Chain A
Amino acid sequence: GNSVTQMEGPVTLSEEAFLTINCTYTATGYPSLFWYVQYPGEGLQLLLKATKADDKGSNKGFEATYRKETTSFHLEKGSVQVSDSAVYFCALRRGNQGGKLIFGQGTELSVKP
């Protein structure tokens, strides 16, 4: 079946540190891949997406590249800020399933000043 696996949290970093959150997936066909972010007390928000192999999604300094050969979509940011503290969810979506998202378990990021 289709599934998403993320590195376990919590991840604690100092401000301006480099961030990587690993995400791998299992799916047949060619899913679209997403990163969603959930700030404390808020709803999930789309952070970035990639719809085909080798695509790079980017937003707010975050990047992730769709790697079909390694079935991965790792999230990176060169210099994190305290305001990036949140829970990050990797997800996939297959076109022939009505567009439903399959999420990973989430990775909590805490950035200290």
Chain B
Amino acid sequence: GAGVSQSPRYKVAKRGQDVALRCDPISGHVSLFWYQQALGQGPEFLTYFQNEAQLDKSGLPSDRFFAERPEGSVSTLKIQRTQQEDSAVYLCASSLAAEHNEKLFFGSGTQLSVL
């Protein structure tokens, strides 16, 4: 596709359920990032992949959060035993290369609501 695609667009989960959020980056993009955006706040970094390697997961808030990118393209963010505080928009972004001033392309996000 032309841009970063995320699915589902909206997800409602009951507290304690597991969820999986998908990100399809722009084809050929090496770097992939996940961010969490709480209502009325700026996005906060969760984790970073360069190809299939997860180089930084310092932003994952707990061990209930897990991300993977097994073939260096599509990525999945999994949240186990969801809690109400996990409610947020989860953004995925990709860039062509790994340089620090490389432009990031963002998806529209998955809005997760935990009831």
Contact = CB atoms under 8 A, between A and B. Distances in A.
Contacts of B3: 43
Chain A binding surface, main DSSP class: mixed
Given A44-B91, A105-B41, A99 B99 contact: yes
Interface residues of B, number: 30
Residue from the set B31, B35, B48, B106 with the largest chain A CB neighbour count within 10 Å = B106
Given A98-B50, A99-B31, A101-B45, A45 B106 contact: yes
B100 A95 contact: yes
B40 A105 contact: yes
Residue from the set B33, B41, B91, B100 with the largest chain A CB neighbour count within 10 Å = B100
Interface of B: 3-4, 31, 33, 35, 40-45, 48, 50, 55-56, 59, 91, 93, 95, 98-104, 106-109
Interface of A: 4, 32, 36, 41-46, 49, 51, 89, 91, 93-106
